[in-house]
Amino acid sequence: MPVFYGTTVDSALMLGTAQYPSPAILAEAFRVSQAGIATVSLRREAGGGQAFWDMIAGLGTRILPNTAGCHTVKEAVTTAHMARELFATSWIKLEVIGHADTLQPDVFGLVEAARILTEDGFEVFPYCTEDLTVCGRLLEVGSQVLMPWGAPIGSGLGLNNPYGLRSLRAHFPDVPLVVDAGVGLPSHAAQAMEMGFDAVLLNTAVAKAGDPVGMARAMALAVEAGRAAFEADPMEPRDMAAPSTPVLGKAFLA
């Protein structure tokens, strides 16, 4: 099971809470998937805050607030402080968005915001790219978890850069790594776990499925299968065929 900032989480599946058809379906998706962490947000109060909080608290799941929608360091830092007070946790999924179409992180602002928040006692989960240098800087400023994107948020494209993600895993073998964003299918989630990632964070793939509860279950199974496969040390692929049935002892019938 993944360990984030000294806390062991019961599942390698992290689920967002947005876009579900109803609160009841959201709750059932969490129940069926046994997701270990629920991501939440802050928005201008329009009367639903208390009801949402009561529902989330009822899930019994660890909470990871985000700074979604923040495009500057200042916005992200202020939002993180508001989140820490509201959700009573120092965990923060740090988003500093740099590009409107792809929602690609502004990695320069991300490192700066991570530095400020870490110095202020936050335990930062940076939503980042798979860039080795950026990830190294995030670790240098105190992040103990990295959450590289698989593909743009909400795209469902899967893992766009498997080479980069494998490289990240290899270079930082002891850092908890989470693929965050872009997962659209259970096979994408399994692929991340087969690479040795510690967890997968997704939202839209479940919330926007025709059957969110069914997809939540499928994602949970995929994460579990992918992790089991990684721990079982998969075979090396090869270009040429190799008979799995022994040639020795074959009857001569020609």
Partner 1 sequence: MMITLNGEPRATEAATLADLLADCGFGAKVATALNGDFVPAALRTTTPIAEGDRIEVVAPMQGG
| 179: amino acid identity, one letter | V
Q: Kindly state the helix (H) or strand (E) to which residue 33 belongs, with its residue range.
A: helix 23-33
Of 29, 70, 153, 216, the one binding partner 1 by CB under 8 A: 153
Is 158 marked as binding a ligand?
A: no
Among 85, 101, 174, 233, binds partner 1 (CB under 8 A): 85
Q: Is 99 one of the binding residues for partner 1 (CB under 8 A)?
A: no
- Site size for partner 1, by CB under 8 A? 37
Cβ contacts of 45 within 8 Å, gap of 6 or more: none
Chain-centre distance of CA 217, in angstroms? 16
Cα–Cα distance measured from residue 40 to residue 83, given in angstroms and rounded to the nearest whole number: 9
**DSSP conformation class of 166:** H
What SS3 class is residue 117? helix
User: Is residue 214 within the footprint of partner 1 (CB under 8 A)?
Assistant: no
Residue 121 CB neighbour total at 10 angstroms: 8
Question: According to the annotation, is 182 in a ligand binding site?
Answer: yes
| Site string (28-67) toward partner 1, x via CB under 8 A | -----------xxxxxxxx-xxx-xx--x--------xx-
93 is catalytic: yes
Tell me which residues touch partner 1 (CB under 8 A): 16-20, 26, 39-46, 48-50, 52-53, 56, 65-66, 68, 74-75, 78-79, 81-83, 85-87, 153-154, 203-204
Query: So which residues are the catalytic ones?
Result: 93
